[in-house]
Structure formats: C-alpha cells, structure tokens
Homo-oligomer: A and B are copies of this chain.
C-alpha cells in the first residue's frame, strides 16, 4: 500500500455491510413513487408531439374535456412559461410547448383524470394542428449556415462550443516520434434504470406542495418547481422515496415533475404521473452521441507529447446537463496520464431529437474509449506493451495535471498493475492464439464537482445527527439521495464508527427537503466524499459534545474518554459517576431498554444523562469544497476540478470466431482506487455493475431513431442491455489509497469504473482478430465485415471507422473551428 492507512483502528469502516433497504427491495415491499396512493388521487398523462419540428397552430381540447373522468387539461397557454433547465445560466425548457414543438415527444398538453385509462383516452381526443418545419435530426444539418434555428439565440444551432488549450500542441506534435489521428463515434444510449421517472404532487390548501419523485436531486427539483410555479422554496417539499436507479438520468429535474405539480395545483387533488417506458426513452437524457477526432503524439519511448481533440455532441432539443458534458468531454482526458500539450475543441449541437445529458461516467466514456484505443495502437506501433506505455505516462499521488488538477491520492499505477497481475496479462499478451485477445484501458474520474449548479456560494452538504431520547438510536438527516448506490449505508457506517455504535443503531432519513438540511444530491460521484465529510463532521461534533459534557461534569479529562462498542470507555474510572447515572436510569426510566449493569457506561446511559435538561442532542456538519486550483489558461476547467480523483484500469479478455465474427467477452478484470473502501461490498458491487454497464455500452446499447426522429426500440425488450446470461467472469479489485480530502480517506467508486471497460474490450478484440472497431456499439457483424475486408486485402488488421456521415460532421466542426 502506497499510502498510510491504519486499518486496524476501524470497527465497521472498511468491512462489508449489507445496504439499508435491501430486505425491502428483495421482497418487493419497498415503496417506490409509483406505489404511493393518496385519497382522491388523479392520474396524469402527457400528450406528446408526433413531429420532430413543427409549429403549433391550434389545440382543441373540447372533446377530451367532455370525457367522463377527465378533471383538467393544461396546454402551453394555461401554464407558466418560465424557463428552466439544469445547466448554469442556460434555461431553455418550458413545461409545455407554446408555439412550436422541437422533438418527437415534446410536451404539448397534460391531462389529469380519475384513472390512467381515462387519462390516456383523453390524450387521443385532443386535436392538435401542426405545421411541420424542417427537421434537424443530425448535427450536420443543424450546423449548416442556413439551418433554421431550434432556439433562435443560437446560430447554427450551436448550443455550446468550447475551445481550449494548454501548452503548445503544435510543438508537441513536432517533437513527437509518432503521431496518429483517428475518428470515433458512439450511439446515444439510455439510462435503462428499472424504475421509470415517476412523481406524485399534492397541494394542501395553504398552497404547500409535497412532491414525491424518483430523483437523484431532491434539492434541485425543489428549487426548479418553486421557480416555475413561482412558489417560495419552503412551500415545496420534495421527497425521494425508494429510487430504482438513476445513473444520471434522474440528476436533472424534469418537465414531468413540473407538470404533475401544475396539474395538482390546477385541480387541487393529488396527481400521480408515472412515465411509460416509451416516455423514459424520450425523457432519458443519458449519454450523448459523440463524434470525435483525436490526434496523439508520442516519443519513441512512448511518452505522450501532445494530444488534440475535436468533438461534436448531438445534444438534442435542450441544454439539460449537456453544457457540462461538452466541457467534461475535454477535461476528462487530462489524466490519468501526464500530458503537457493539450488542445480541445468541442461543439454541442441542438437537434430535433430528445435531449441528451448525463450518464454514469459523465463526459468521460466515449472520449476515453478512443483515447485508450489510440494509446494501445501507438504502443503497438512503438513495440511497447500497452500496460507499460500506460505505466510510463501515469500520474501519481502529489502530481498535478497540466490543467492544474491535483492528485491528492492516486494509485493509478497500483491499480493497473493489480489488474495486470490478477488477469495474468503477462502470460497472455502476445501469447494467445488468433481469435483470442486481451486488451487494457485506464481512466480517472472526479469525486464531486467544485460548483453548485445554480449558485456558487452555498455549502454542498449539511448533515444533522440526532440522538434518540433512550440513547438506543441515532438518526442522520441528509439531503443526499439514496438511489440504490448505498449512500444511506455509507452515512450510517461513518456515524456508527465515530460513535462506537452498530450500523443497525443508525437510522438515516435522506432526500426529503422538509426534514433534511441542504445537500446537492447524487451526481458527479459526490456523496461519499462530500456528504460523507459532512456526516463525519456532524458525528464528531456530537461525540465531542457528549464527551465534553461528561468531562466537565465529572472532571474526567476528555482525552481519556472514547466511544467504542456501545460504551464510553474511561467512565469506569469514575465509579461515583457510574453509580449516579446508572442508578438514575434504572429507577426513573421505566420501560426503556434494559441497560448494562457493569463496566463503563453504555452509550444509552450517557446520552440519556446528557439528554436530561438539554433535550435533543444534535450535531451538525457542513462540507463546502475547498477553493480548488486549476489552470486559468484552460477555460472552463472548473468542470473537472474536484477535491479528489479516483483512478481505474480494466483488462478485457475476448474470443472472436474468425469465420463468423461472433464475439464472446470471456472475462473482465477491473481495479479501482476508491481511497479507503468504507463499505467493501458496495464498492465491489459498483465495480461489478460498472463492468456490466460498460459491457452493455460496448456491445449492445443504442437508442435507434427512425427517419422522422422517433425512437423505435423504446421497450426494454428492444433496447438491449446485458442480462445475467450475458455477463462474463468478473474480477473486481478494490485498490485503496488514503485520500486526504475524503472522510477517512474515501473517494468515489460509482462512475469512474465504467470508463476503461469499453476501450479494454475494443483493444482485446483488435488483439484477437486485428479488427479495430472505432464505432460502438461493437457488433459481431462489424467484426465479420472487418474480417471479410482483411480477407480481401490480405492485411492482418482492419480499422472499422465511423460512417462517412460521421466524417462529414467532424469535417464541418473542423471547418467551423477554422
């Protein structure tokens, strides 16, 4: 272990704890938003545009209104047109379209009725007159000089462009021994979380709104709904019940949440709105389609000399989190390698398609798939082992990227070597028969972001901890969002460790804006570090408060007192105190739990004693990221600045049928530096999940549009994700370090892991059969075609490039860049 972690001192941290909520989920008893029933509840439904781009001429709701059971129908002219969105200073969405629709699925009207069936029937009775406008279904069409504008303020439909460099790439390339340029494309993917977006809005007659919603970001939803409905923040209570996955899709508040609230406000009854799976694909946001061109220059011995990157992102109809995406797409290549000369030009383009946004590994998956592939290719050209070229370039703890990001802990080499050794790389690489291959990829990722999305001056996490009157339980109140990733359990572990309790003594209330102090929520892999730090501080404040009270009252030096195993060690040295407190709580507190009657005072006894007179014992903690340093040269490098960086490497092993191209991924090995693993089985779960997710994105996932911009594979049957039968042997290696900015040395584990999986598979396929796939998802058909081409040409390798159409898009971006 490179870092100094004294593991012996922990009671709970760093072991494996079953996540809170698992029994509910495993038995089907967990109540998700769509399971909640309120008296007089209505059911909402949304009428969506069948056109990708059209003027809205008229909406006739008269027939729908006459349908028995329909309670209210809202159209754009009935509702607030205050714009909202989720990128700083880019609000470009409204709840319902007013003058035109800009994607297939755009919200045209909303209905609330006594049951779902009636609500859907009402949709069919609404007559809408459209005047079709030219569809801009791809970035090429949209970027044309004379293209109609989806949002009039953005010429050539460029939602956001980024032009950045540090060092001098021209010089870097000039000094390079080898320069290589490649192009790459992916497809838009979906979040495919099991629970669709769902919400339930209810106003009381004092105008207080309670909104249950399946979200990653209760706090942002609260703020957005308040803003659009012009309500004071405190009148909007957002509660996230059990959430069935989000993966970034639920990290932006949505029109469904605003619409359900508007319907409930209009009709003064609760309104539940659960998206159908087809609507999930429309609302998904998730991964953009990217078009990359990258140029890499390396020295003869494999040192990366320069890197240049041009990218186009098909943004779809709105900004959502995509402005951050186009920045991340640049800055998420600044590590894990030391690169002195970097250049990036990125364009995010508005098109008449559903909006793309954030997905696990936000802004770091597609770009790194190409980067890592290129790196392996130049290694081959230089005759260097792909693992070796990575080790040669990797940053270490204490290093800073050229753009200023500081690696306060960074076991990149250790992770890569662990994956290498565990997979038997050295026995396999170059020694496998044709048709068998092994490949590698590496990466890094943030543990939370520097800025809050809409204001820069607030704490990112505040946590409050309260001790129960009987001392038998402690409740942690956090606005952080438990979305299945185990965040509640992490906060319980931290609290239990500090207070010398068991995890089952810790109750966690999370994601409820009325109960919980501010927390920005579950995105950018921020909660373990940020909420974790706030929780640690709160628990320590609570502990110190109790110890001080005992110390003052009984003249025991605070340093002699310590909570462990449910006791306050040190109290036994003061028998008078023990007798006093123990006696009191035996006689006075009838019906409380049975207490220990020998040895040091128990946590229960001590806290009951402190509770007396004072009442609720509260501790609070707050976390605001430190002012992070980053290069002023690289504009927007705040997107990517984080208090801590994880790092990870993946090794993939595959088989290719050299006749048919049939691909089998045989094994994935993933090593991830998560700092100190607070809950080992959760970290392992994240690694396993990331390998599966990366496998899906590499091989299967693609949102397919028809020629009118409609999603055609909008069911979980047609949109392919790996099932348990598709999952190969997985080896998850938890690599630890001691992150000074993390609670007890912890940092992120949920997102970075997905990143190296795709390039490892691409590289392994190339190693197996010589076909380099630069257009994902990889299919056996593509491999087959490559093998056929190789047969024709007699070459040992073939590069399966993105389409001609992708080339045109990149060419156009190059033209615009000048």
A residues whose Cβ falls under 8 Å from a Cβ of B: 20-21, 23-24, 27, 29, 31, 35-39, 82, 84, 89, 91, 204-206, 208, 223-224, 226-228, 230, 232-235, 268, 454-459, 462, 468-470, 472-475, 504-505, 507, 509, 514-515, 517-518, 584, 588-593, 611-616, 618, 620, 622, 624
Contact of A472 among B232, B470, B514, B611 (CB under 8 A): B232
Known: A24-B204, A206-B20, A616-B518. A458 touches B590 (CB 8 A): no
> For residue A457, which residues in chain B have a CB less than 8 angstroms away from its CB?
584, 588, 612-613
> For residue A593, which residues in chain B have a CB less than 8 angstroms away from its CB?
230, 232
Copies in the complex: 2
> For residue A268, which residues in chain B have a CB less than 8 angstroms away from its CB?
29
Cβ A515 vs Cβ B517 within 8 A: no
Q: Closest CB of chain B to A737's CB: distance in Å? A: 29
Cβ B518 vs Cβ A462 within 8 A: no
Cβ A468 vs Cβ B592 within 8 A: no
A44–B36 Cα distance when bound, in Å, is 21
Cβ A469 vs Cβ B233 within 8 A: yes
Residue ID in chain B nearest A235 by CB atoms: B473
> For residue A469, which residues in chain B have a CB less than 8 angstroms away from its CB?
223, 233, 458, 518
Cβ B89 vs Cβ A458 within 8 A: no
A146–B413 Cα distance when bound, in Å, is 90
Known: A205-B23, A234-B507. A615 touches B622 (CB 8 A): yes
Known: A20-B206, A37-B38. A459 touches B233 (CB 8 A): no
A224-B591, A454-B588, A517-B616 are known; give 12 further A-B pairs, CB within 8 A: A23-B206, A24-B206, A29-B204, A82-B591, A84-B591, A226-B591, A227-B592, A228-B591, A455-B612, A462-B615, A509-B514, A515-B515
Cβ B613 vs Cβ A232 within 8 A: no
Contact of A456 among B227, B455, B458, B588 (CB under 8 A): B588
Cβ A514 vs Cβ B232 within 8 A: no
Q: Closest CB of chain B to A649's CB: distance in Å? A: 37
A3–B469 Cα distance when bound, in Å, is 40
**14 pairs, CB–CB < 8 Å, chain A vs chain B:** A23-B205, A23-B206, A24-B204, A24-B206, A27-B205, A29-B204, A82-B591, A89-B590, A206-B504, A223-B591, A454-B591, A456-B588, A459-B615, A613-B624
> For residue A37, which residues in chain B have a CB less than 8 angstroms away from its CB?
37-39
Q: Closest CB of chain B to A487's CB: distance in Å? A: 16
Contact of A517 among B35, B91, B615 (CB under 8 A): B615
Residue ID in chain B nearest A26 by CB atoms: B205
> For residue A473, which residues in chain B have a CB less than 8 angstroms away from its CB?
232-235
> For residue A84, which residues in chain B have a CB less than 8 angstroms away from its CB?
591
Cβ B615 vs Cβ A470 within 8 A: no
5 tightest Cβ-Cβ pairs between the two chains A and B: A234-B473, A227-B591, A232-B472, A457-B612, A234-B468
Cβ B459 vs Cβ A614 within 8 A: yes
Cβ B612 vs Cβ A458 within 8 A: yes
> For residue A620, which residues in chain B have a CB less than 8 angstroms away from its CB?
618
Contact of A455 among B205, B507, B588, B614 (CB under 8 A): B588
A735–B499 Cα distance when bound, in Å, is 53
Q: Closest CB of chain B to A434's CB: distance in Å? A: 53
Contact of A91 among B206, B227, B515, B590 (CB under 8 A): B590
Q: Closest CB of chain B to A111's CB: distance in Å? A: 22
Known: A205-B29, A232-B472. A458 touches B613 (CB 8 A): yes
Cβ B39 vs Cβ A232 within 8 A: no
A517–B466 Cα distance when bound, in Å, is 9
Contact of A515 among B228, B454, B462, B514 (CB under 8 A): B514
Q: Closest CB of chain B to A120's CB: distance in Å? A: 22
Residue ID in chain B nearest A456 by CB atoms: B588
A620–B618 Cα distance when bound, in Å, is 11
A622–B230 Cα distance when bound, in Å, is 35
Contact of A589 among B91, B455, B472 (CB under 8 A): B455
A459–B454 Cα distance when bound, in Å, is 41
> For residue A230, which residues in chain B have a CB less than 8 angstroms away from its CB?
593
> For residue A456, which residues in chain B have a CB less than 8 angstroms away from its CB?
588
Q: Closest CB of chain B to A603's CB: distance in Å? A: 11
> For residue A20, which residues in chain B have a CB less than 8 angstroms away from its CB?
206
A268–B23 Cα distance when bound, in Å, is 12
Cβ B458 vs Cβ A232 within 8 A: no
